[in-house]
Structure 1
């Protein structure tokens, strides 16, 4: 197996998460999604990231059933969508996610965005842990002040924060807040949703190492011990994304990447409306 796929990071509750997973955002074509997940599992991925709003839970369930990988060997992450963050709706959403994924438990369940009902949702997540429906709970797209608020009231601390994080948005305030509180950092948009191919500093390093621009971004995040979830509908790209074990970015390379002009590709977590 590819060595980078064997690397697990420890969560603050004592459990572990594979550092590299397969993202499934915008994978909605049933056959494409099925082939992508099965190719990932066959090549050694043991972490699948999905969400209610991706509308592909049932395909993930089918891929798991059709693969030869045991359930307990695969780490499944999902997220509760913003419309279901009130306490009662969150409890309902948890049961629906379990049903759609055809699982007895979810390895990691996240609040998808920091809506005004986020603290109610967290209470429902804590109860799901106590009931054995969920192993670990965390957040997605939380800024430092959202984390501070949650840490002041929670019974169970979030194990992870998944947010937009890439060489063009290094988000050090949030990264540092997570590190100070033993919360793992998870990057989405690591390849800047394809815009990595247009950025000079990344192109320069891709040429230096004879790697793709996407692989430079993934190696950057991997070296920083961020959980990463690259996605692709193409099985060949799913495999290419993990071929980052045979080179290492130097301190000078990392410094070069820090000179990229800041760019946020996704919504601002302090100003979103969905």
Structure 2
């Protein structure tokens, strides 16, 4: 989205078998990529859109192409780790939690913690944001729609935290007819509901306040393939114990399985072999 030079450093190294120096540029980092991309956006106008739409924003292009390609590769590599769930009348699909991502795809964790990304999100939301606690499997997770009928029904991303929770949804792979259907202003008595629908291309973004946006993912058809990545950020990471239990049970049943949720919870979110 911009032709500014990416941040990189060069050093003179000697290639094997030759005495000639070779200038090698360090790989771009997720933080540098985000800083470069967001600097090219009309952020004041985007902030106005976010407020006008009741804490909702859609961009069909957000991530740099290299970062998007990295996510696509990782999403395909993580397929053996998918945990599938089926809740009749509400949800069918697969998920990979932040705990598995931490073990096999640290690039995603680095992107989640990007200071440039969090700073941009704070500019959009007007809130000071924090990452979710290490025990939260939803902090960043991949969601797979790979079988006919995979979907999630109408819902809110209800926050069990003491503060607000914002969802950032990134398109990773979209070889499907699935769409994000949504309704704006459903909890604003002074404004009429406003329906909308988008297909999120790879590298595209949706940002919203989970308690305000009613939304769903429409069912996948046969031989379709869709993967999205969600990042969750909070204004206050505190959570009452009984709400933590409710949240953990929901994550275990509807998304990641009891082993992922409670084994990681008991270990304080630390990785295990």
TMscore range, shorter length? under 0.3
TM-score by length of 1: 0.27
Higher percent of residues as strand: 2
Bigger relative contact order (CA 8 A; separation at least 6): 2
Normalised by the length of structure 2, the TM-score is 0.27
More helix by share: 1
